[in-house]
Structure formats: structure tokens, C-alpha cells
Amino acid sequence: MNIHEAIRTRRSIGKVKSDPVPQDKIEKILEAGTWAPCHRNTQPWQFFVMREDGRKLLGHVMADIAEENAAGKTEEELASAREAALGRANRAPVVIGVAVKPVDDPKIIELEEYGAVFAAAQNMLLEAHGLGLGAVWRTGDFCYDRKVNEAFGLGERDKMLGFLYIGEPDMLPKDGKRENAASKTIWINEAVRQLDV
């Protein structure tokens, strides 16, 4: 599969089999992430690979956050919210947390550090696709909760930017839909002072 095909055929695969993912494939996915572009070569990413019982770390922190957000609910509703959260960590045999650890340097623009890690996640998704695996990048408010930082030993300025759920696909990918690039592109061939977009 060439890069042109990989970019256009990769889809979020939210349903995967429980079969273990071989170690060498996981390592290739991680390695792909490290080749993302990053300003001044800061390499601000940190990956957390969770398999088997290791996924319980994610499950417990998700459950703690769900319970905190369910304040005022009955004991039964709290238990249900906690159980559902614990189950979400087991939706794939491999879950990779992708975090940004911005370099503490006034010359480095923090937003560019985030951009580098988003690019790393895309590299990882493309590599997984190229290896015949299904993957989905899951995010949400809980990722940025202080409890996630605490659970994964991240510093105050660090952020978990999402979790990649990876496994053998157990669903057919949906057709991709994108607006034509022309509708999102402005060509500038002459010097101008200001654009009216």
C-alpha cells in the first residue's frame, strides 16, 4: 500500500477483535509516531501502551471520572456508570495513550508541541492501517482531566491528547467523505495586503 492509498483508505475502526496484537506490529506503530515533524526536534510525545491487565489503569481512571461526573445519582446509577467506564478500556486488545510533554523553553511555541504530537498520532494510525489493523483515536473531556495526568504520571503542563484503540478489524470500514480540496483552498499568486475570506 503506498502513502496515497493509505491516506485515502484509512478509516476509524471502532470495533476490533480481542485477539492480541503482535509485539512487532505495536513497535512499528510506535516508531512511526516518532517520525512526525516537530519544530526544533523537541520530540514532545510520550506513549503509554496498555495491554491485558494494563488496560485497567485506563479503566479505573475513566471510572473515577465518570463517578465524579455522576454526583447526585443513586448508588445503582453510580455503579452502572463506573462499570460502563471500566468496560470502555477493554474495547481493544491494545490501547496507546498519546500525550504531549511540552519542552520548557521560551524559544519553543507550546502550540507547535501539540501539533507535533497530533502529527505523531496520525502517523501511528496510518502505520496501523498499513499493517492491516483497525484503529480509532478516542478523545474527549476526560482526557484533559487532572485525574488522567495523575494516573499516568504526567506533569502539570502535559496533556493526554487521546487514546488509540488498536486490534484486528471486526467491522467493515465506512466510505470516506471529504469536501473537495478546492473548496478549502485559496491560491495566492500575487502580493496582497489582506484577504477577504
138 is in an annotated binding site: yes
The span from the CA of 133 to the CA of 164, in Å, is: 12
What predicted TM-score, i.e. pTM, was given to this entire model?
A: 0.94
Residue 196 lies in a domain: no
Tell me: is residue 40 an annotated ligand-binding position. no
Return left, alpha or beta for 41; rule: phi > 0 is left, psi -120 to 50 is alpha, else beta: left
pLDDT tens for each residue of 26-80: 999 999 999 999 999 999 999 999 999 999 999 999 999 988 888 788 888 888 8
> Could you give the number of structural domains in the chain?
1
Residue 189 forms part of a structural domain: no
Question: Is 39 assigned a ligand-binding role in the annotation?
Answer: yes
Residue 71 buriedness (CB in 10 A; 0-12 / 13-18 / 19+): exposed
Calpha distance 95→152 (Å, rounded): 13
Instruction: Judge whether 193 lies within some domain.
Output: no
User: Which segments of 2-109 does DSSP mark as H helices, in order?
Assistant: 3-9, 23-33, 55-69, 75-88
Residue 84 lies in a domain: yes
Backbone angles phi, psi at 59, to 5 degrees: -60, -45
Residue 195 falls inside a structural domain: no
* Separation CA 72–CA 40 (nearest Å): 48
C-alpha to C-alpha distance for 157 and 35, rounded to whole angstroms: 23
CB of 142 closer than 8 Å to CB of 85: no
Q: Please report whether residue 190 resides in a domain.
A: no
Q: List beta partners, residue 50.
A: 95
Reduced DSSP (H G I as helix, E B as strand, rest coil) percent helix, strand, coil of the chain, to 5: 45, 15, 40
Residue 175 belongs to domain spanning: 3-184
Closest by CA to 44, choosing from 139, 106, 118, 96, is 118
Q: Is residue 92 in a domain?
A: yes
- Greatest C-alpha distance within the chain: 66
**Distance between CA atoms of 11 and 47, rounded to whole angstroms?**
22
The answer to the question of residue 192 being in a domain is no
pLDDT for the residue numbered 70: 81
The whole-number mean pLDDT for each consecutive block of 10 residues of the chain, a chain of 197 residues, reads 93 97 98 97 98 97 90 85 91 98 96 98 98 97 96 97 98 92 94 85
CATH, residue 108: 3.40.109.10
